[in-house]
Structure 1
Amino acid sequence: MMHSEFHRTERIGWLRAAVLGANDGLISTSSLVVGVAAAQAGREPVLLAALAGLVAGALSMAAGEYVSVSSQADAECADLARERRELASDPERERAELAGIYEARGLTSDLADQVAGQLMAHDALNAHSRDELGISETTRARPLQAALASALAFSAGAVLPVLLVWFIPIAHLNSLVVGSCLILLAILGTLAAHLGGTSVLRGAARVTFWGAAAMGGSALAGHLIGTVV
């Protein structure tokens, strides 16, 4: 019988990358816009900074996520290769090891040995990768997927401040960028918390607070630098 229940862990990989990318794109690009605009720059420098931030940020997120998740994938592949060698050289020892895992989870010694034997007969490597190494199809590292999700999510988050710079009069730009960013951050925090099954209020408040802090710091730095220059 097929297992048809849905679990939130099934989407934890792409959800983490997507939420992180969107938040980073929105916060970093909005902070960049606010900081440059606070230095009393005209529309062109602010727009150039926003576009450069979008492109550089998306590529940076993709590269960073790919390298990070690739390291995890390499470690998984090394563990699986070692497990293959051990299964080929000493299958009885590996069966006893697997049975010990099941026994520690509450099965009797005889039943644990039977379960280990049947699972190894069906797919020994899969049984050991799942129950000994903790590697499953759901949680397995996927570098390209993570990199693409991060880049697209960052770009989606960064689009709003870029569009605001393009269309909004420079005199009202900072207030509209800050207000729009905080509202969208609250929505993203709420969505992420809902999908993850955690407190919606806590998720929204956390991301909104840190977004406000980032933009406030950038505005202060831009104002000070603009005053000096």
Structure 2
Amino acid sequence: MPMNDMEQNHCPEVEGKNVDYFQRAQWLRAAVLGANDGLVTVTSLMMGVGSVKEDIKPMLLAGFAGLFAGACSMAIGEFVSVNTQRDIEMAHIMRREKAMKNGGENYKEEADQTEREQLPNPVQAAFASALAFSVGAVLPLLAAAFIREHKLRLSVVITVATSALIAFGVVGARVGGTPMLKSATRVLVGGWVAMAITFGLTRLIGSKGLQM
């Protein structure tokens, strides 16, 4: 009996925590993914251009182009994805409603109405993704905007990107209830790899005589 009482006392708390993390999953995924994509994409573009051009203008232009294109792409992609998810869930609700009515089961319209209200909102998801991408993308742009010396500019951009990647990993782990070190390391290494590949390949193409 004491064990049962203890289990009853602890289960609601555990279930509450699980529900909290599950409810956070949708917006957390979009926010972390969007911010991380914005940071890595724009930083990689700027590093790639910076590998063959010392002038600050092409570097900033590439960064702004990446910000605008990426934010639009994230918004459209999230809008289409969430609409598809919404259509699938709505079709499931309608099939279940029809089956219950045809089978003579007790149909609860209130329950289905609640489920409809809880369906994901495509417009909100698109806006959140675009905003998160823009927040991540603007960091390397701000870092490079006022530094004229080429090597120092690249170093500052890398430093800011590294710090932001670690921060995104820690925040994502903190809110999502996952191990911080593992999350931060995964985000950091992934970002470094993307930046290194972009920098190396762009520099290689530039060194082969491609006029820019």
User: Does the pair score TM above 0.5?
Assistant: yes
The alignment partner of 2:120 has SS state of: coil
Q: CA deviation at 1:81?
A: 1.3
* C-alpha distance in structure 1 between counterparts of 2:23 and 2:149, whole Å: 44
Please, which of 36, 39, 51 is the counterpart of residue 23 of structure 1? Answer: 36
Matching residue of 2:170: 190
% identity of equivalent residues: 41
* C-alpha distance in structure 2 between counterparts of 1:124 and 1:169, whole Å: 61
**CA pair 193-89 structure 1, distance change in 2 beyond 3 A:** same
Aligned residues: 193
Larger radius of gyration: 1
- Which deviations, in whole Å up to 9, do the C-alpha atoms of 1:132-171 show, x marking residues without a partner? xxx993xx33211211111000000000111123112241
Q: Which moved more, 1:149-158 or 1:10-19?
A: 10-19
Which aligned pairs between 1:15-94 and structure 2 lie closer than 5 A? Answer: 15-92=28-105
Q: Which structure 2 segments of 5+ residues have no match?
A: 1-11
The alignment partner of 2:145 has SS state of: helix
RMSD: 2.3
**CA pair 208-83 structure 1, distance change in 2 beyond 3 A:** same
Q: CA deviation at 1:191?
A: 0.6
* C-alpha distance in structure 1 between counterparts of 2:110 and 2:131, whole Å: 37
* C-alpha distance in structure 2 between counterparts of 1:136 and 1:10, whole Å: 15
Amino acid at match of 1:142: N
**CA pair 124-12 structure 1, distance change in 2 beyond 3 A:** closer
Q: CA deviation at 1:85?
A: 1.4
Amino acid at match of 1:188: F
Amino acid at match of 1:184: A
Amino acid at match of 1:27: V
- Which deviations, in whole Å up to 9, do the C-alpha atoms of 1:173-220 show, x marking residues without a partner? 211111110111001101101111010000000000010111111111
Contact 1:62 1:148 in 2 (8 A): yes
Amino acid at match of 2:180: V
* C-alpha distance in structure 2 between counterparts of 1:77 and 1:90, whole Å: 20
Q: What's the TM-score once normalised by structure 1's chain length? A: 0.77
Matching residue of 2:186: 206
